[in-house]
Amino acid sequence: MAAIRTLTRRVGGSMSGMSLLRPQHSAALFSTSAKAQFKVAVCGGAGGIGQPLALLMSMCDLVKEVSVQDVSMAMVPPAGVAADLGHIEYPAKVNGYAIDPSKPAVDQLAECLTGCDLVLIPAGVPRKPGMTRDDLFAINAGIAKGLAEACAQHCPNAIVGIIVNPVNSVVPLVAELYKKKGLDPLKIIGVTTLDIVRANKFVAEITGQSPLDIDIPVIGGHAGVTIMPVFSQSTVASGISVDRIPDLDKRVQDGGTEVVLAKAGKGSATLSMAYSGARFGKSVLAGLAGTPTTECAYVASSVTELPFFSSKVTFGKSGVEKIHDIGPLNAYEEGRLAEAKAALKVEIETGLNFAKTF
Ligand code: NAD
Ligand code: LMR
């Protein structure tokens, strides 16, 4: 029961956000009165992350409608993904939207995005072995910019979860675009949840505890050394001997590369990312529905001297309600923080420099 409660917190932030059990099963465990009230779009919804993410969001009992958006030449037509998901016995209505990427997304996505409360963006190209996330900026920045312009026009109050890499640079670029349009840059949130998910799992493997009872904050950003797990803030992980921490830290940093290598040129993490994106999305929706919910996320921030940083963020009825301080660090973590900030500074500048061109 304790594990189920923790899982409930993770996927929805409240008993009513529970959605991994079918309602009739969860009703036996919880009194659930969730209202399907939110519209969610998944851009890149026909892709490796997009399809399972759209599935998980369509199964969230807070969701009344899901837009699956992709390009017209996607591997599977978004209308097909939507038709498929539309047969699942959950209340959400699912619609597919294909765009011609040679034309502005903003001119093609009015129906898809109007009324959205949350837009999740895994649209873009994934890494192959030997590439860094930075190498994706040249192609993915333009995709993200086009979709962000469409969000700014058609759903300016929606929370926009940036999954497309490099998150460390794409979030500053999109937040800057929102600022230039007079919109709130805190609507733009970098999804770093997969780093937390990995840290929880890897600590569970070492300690033998259930991952559902572990919650490691991961701060900084989402690439290489900028991924900074704070093991000392977890009662479970703080029991791990100090000489094992550097390797564990490195494994979390390199989790994405581990999957890229194992997929051998056929993509990067998709299923664990879909799980993580849904965990993030459900936390945002739980907040919007009135249950404040806290997750680490990468946002415009003043907790360090950098303009963007990932730390614990509380989502509430209006979106980002509180950005929490980093909290206490040990000497090893202080050293790592300096390393993470130095790398992150450069990656933030990449995004901000691009934003100067528009
Ligand atoms: P994928 O190639 O399987 O899917 C991407 C989808 O985006 C494709 O269906 C493609 O047609 C679509 N797309 C391209 N241009 C588009 C546009 N203008 N509008 C809408 N859709 C468009 O890739 P994937 O494995 O799903 O990964 C997507 C992105 O997510 C990559 O950049 C990857 O690096 C990133 N990612 C981030 C995290 C994270 O933790 N934040 C984790 C894993 C992957
Ligand atoms: C991940 O962490 O799995 C993603 O950022 C994808 C990648 O390129 O590693």
What confidence tens digit (pLDDT) does each residue in 179-199 have?
999 999 999 999 999 999 999
Which residue, chain included where needed, has tokens 């450069």?
A: 346
Average pLDDT over the chain reads 93
pLDDT for position 15: 37
Question: 185 in ligand 1 pocket by Cβ < 6 Å?
Answer: no
Question: 198 in ligand 2 pocket by Cβ < 6 Å?
Answer: no
Catalytic-labelled residue, pool 25, 87, 154, 222:
222
Distance from the alpha carbon of residue 262 to the mean position of ligand 1, in angstroms:
18
Question: 44 in ligand 1 pocket by Cβ < 6 Å?
Answer: yes
222 is annotated as an active-site residue: yes
CA–CA gap between residue 114 and residue 95 (Å, rounded): 13
For the chain, percent of residues with pLDDT exceeding 70: 91
Q: Which spans in 20-166 are helix H? A: 23-29, 50-58, 78-85, 110-113, 137-154
pLDDT for position 34: 78
Distance from the alpha carbon of residue 219 to the mean position of ligand 2, in angstroms:
16
Identity of residue 141: A
Per residue in 235-292, pLDDT (tens digit) is 999 999 999 999 999 999 999 999 999 999 999 999 999 999 999 999 999 999 999 9
Question: 269 in ligand 2 pocket by Cβ < 6 Å?
Answer: yes
Among protein residues, the one whose CA lies closest to atom 31 of ligand 1: 126
pLDDT for position 33: 57
Question: 260 in ligand 2 pocket by Cβ < 6 Å?
Answer: yes
Among protein residues, the one whose CA lies closest to atom 4 of ligand 2: 256
Confidence of residue 117 (pLDDT cuts 50, 70, 90): very high
Among protein residues, the one whose CA lies closest to atom 7 of ligand 2: 256
Question: 220 in ligand 1 pocket by Cβ < 6 Å?
Answer: no
CA–CA gap between residue 116 and residue 40 (Å, rounded): 5
pLDDT for position 20: 53
Per residue in 33-78, pLDDT (tens digit) is 579 999 999 999 999 999 999 999 999 999 999 999 999 999 999 9
Closest ligand 1 atom to residue 99 Cα is 19
Domains of the chain listed by start with CATH number: 20-190 (3.40.50.720), 193-355 (3.90.110.10)
Among protein residues, the one whose CA lies closest to atom 9 of ligand 2: 256
Nearest to 105 by CA among 67, 58, 71, 128: 71
pLDDT for position 272: 98
Confidence of residue 105 (pLDDT cuts 50, 70, 90): very high
Q: Calculate mean pLDDT across residues 301-325.
A: 98
Contacts of 25 (CB under 8 A, 6+ apart): none
